[in-house]
């Protein structure tokens, strides 16, 4: 019996194959999941309908299942209209979920086009495509090591 919140069998299988430095993308509903991924990545679509599921829900489940060393978001290019609005509100929700998981990790944005390049790495093992409608809601997690 699993001891964490993540019960999706395929996601658990992919995570079990991952290790230190493996990357997991939690993609919002706007992310081009099928053509912006690493050569070793599997895409699992959990985008049932607009808003279902959210990246926050996926983040909570993943953080219950694997150690994470790094949390990145897709950073907003300065020439994007949204950049003038400041940080997307959903990023604060991510910080709260990370804190609730007992982690002291900052959220570090990677500018959009660089984010795509990072995701296209061989270290990228999984994309969870959500139906999240939050703008700039993509989160890239880097797995850590299991500690004693």
pLDDT digits (tens, 9 = 90+) for 44-86: 999 999 999 999 999 999 999 999 999 999 999 999 999 999 9
Helix then strand count (H, E) for the chain reads: 4, 6
Name the residue among 55, 84, 52 with its Cα closest to residue 72.
Answer: 55
Report pLDDT for 148. 62
Range 9-143 has CATH code 3.10.129.10: no
pLDDT score for 1: 56
For the chain, which residues make up each domain, given as ranges?
Answer: 9-143
Which tens digits make up the pLDDT trace of 12-34? 999 999 999 999 999 999 999 99
Token pair, residue 59, equals 């983040």
pLDDT at 3 over 90: no
Instruction: Give dist(CA 88, CA 85) in Å, integer.
Output: 8
Question: What pLDDT digit, counting tens, does each position of 120-148 carry?
Answer: 999 999 999 999 999 999 999 999 987 76
Cα–Cα distance for residue pair 107/88, rounded to 1 Å: 12
């Amino acid at each position: 019996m699993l001891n964490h919140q993540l019960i999706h069998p395929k996601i658990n299988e992919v995570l079990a194959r991952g290790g230190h430095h493996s990357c997991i993308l939690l993609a919002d509903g706007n992310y081009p999941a099928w053509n912006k991924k690493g050569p070793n990545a599997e895409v699992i679509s959990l985008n049932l309908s607009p808003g279902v599921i959210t990246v926050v829900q996926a983040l909570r489940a993943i953080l219950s299942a694997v150690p994470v060393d790094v949390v990145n978001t897709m950073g907003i290019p300065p020439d994007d209209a949204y950049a003038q609005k400041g940080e997307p509100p959903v990023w604060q929700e991510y910080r709260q979920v990370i804190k609730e998981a007992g982690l002291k990790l900052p959220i570090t944005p990677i500018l959009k086009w660089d984010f795509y390049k990072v995701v296209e790495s061989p270290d990228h093992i999984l994309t969870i495509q959500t139906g999240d409608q939050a703008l700039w809601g993509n989160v890239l997690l880097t797995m850590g090591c299991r500690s004693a």
